Amino acid sequence: MPIQSIASASNSLIAALPRRERLQLLAGCETVELVLADILAEPGQRIRQVHFPIDSIVSLTTPVDAGASIEIGLVGKEGMLGATLLLGVDASPLHALVQGAGAALCMDAVRFCGELKLAPALQRVLGRYLYVTMAQLVQTAACPRFHVVEARLARWLLMTQDRAASPHLHLTHEFLACMLGVRRVGVTHAATALQARKLISYRRGDITVLDRKGLEAAACSCYAANNAVWDSVMGRRARQWT
């Protein structure tokens, strides 16, 4: 399939651009395969490439203590990695790790900055995207203070499923513990509780969402709040899981 068709169908930011600007942007992109556990960015390091995931997922984490970190966001087909270039900031604020292997559109950061100057529609789309991202980060920062691990796990599973477009997820105990900022025993208890309610099945890192509606009901309010912010600013997304 031509690169224009792949990106337009699978990355929301690129698909939102007018045809001329979309084709101009795609002309400078190449399709790359992101490998599981690859590191795409480190806090403070210069942004050398931007990525628009197609069917890959990137986990965004921030260090909180020596050797410890917590996940504060995910980037999938709805977004991009490197959007802070719009603000004139060429250093990454977060650690970016490939959580789900797959394809992405990639462009050199210098060329991308040049494209930004010539594409007002791209500036507007990314400005809204940055606003939504900041609002969601604020929600995520408050979440551990007010919501229990089980509800937070349900939210992260829903967020991952939204981007994976599949009920089958591979998430190890170690990764889930990092994602939630808790000990492995906390993840085990939360996953066991969700499995007992027949919302998921969980075995050696392989998770299957059995009851999407039930998982939404079990999730903390941050999931619905994040979706509401996205819908109000970026436009309502087509829900694959109803």
Q: At what angle do helices 120-146 and 222-234 cross, to 10 degrees?
A: 170
The architecture of the domain spanning 148-220 is Orthogonal Bundle (1.10)
Helix and strand counts by DSSP (H, E) for the chain: 10, 10
Q: Which is more confident, 86 or 241?
A: 86
pLDDT at residue 68 tops 80: no
CATH superfamily name and code, 3-135: Jelly Rolls (2.60.120.10)
In angstroms, the CA 71 to CA 80 distance is 17
CA atoms 157, 160, 166, 170: torsion sign = negative
How does pLDDT run across 145-174, given as a tens digit for each residue? Answer: 889 999 999 999 999 999 998 999 988 878
Residue 76, helix vs strand vs coil: coil
Q: pTM higher than 0.75, yes or no?
A: yes
Whether 101 contacts 54, CB under 8 Å: no
How does pLDDT run across 30-55, given as a tens digit for each residue? Answer: 999 999 989 999 999 999 999 999 99
Q: How confident is the model at residue 239 (pLDDT cuts 50, 70, 90)?
A: very low
In angstroms, the CA 28 to CA 5 distance is 15
125 burial level (CB within 10 Å; 0-12, 13-18, 19+): buried
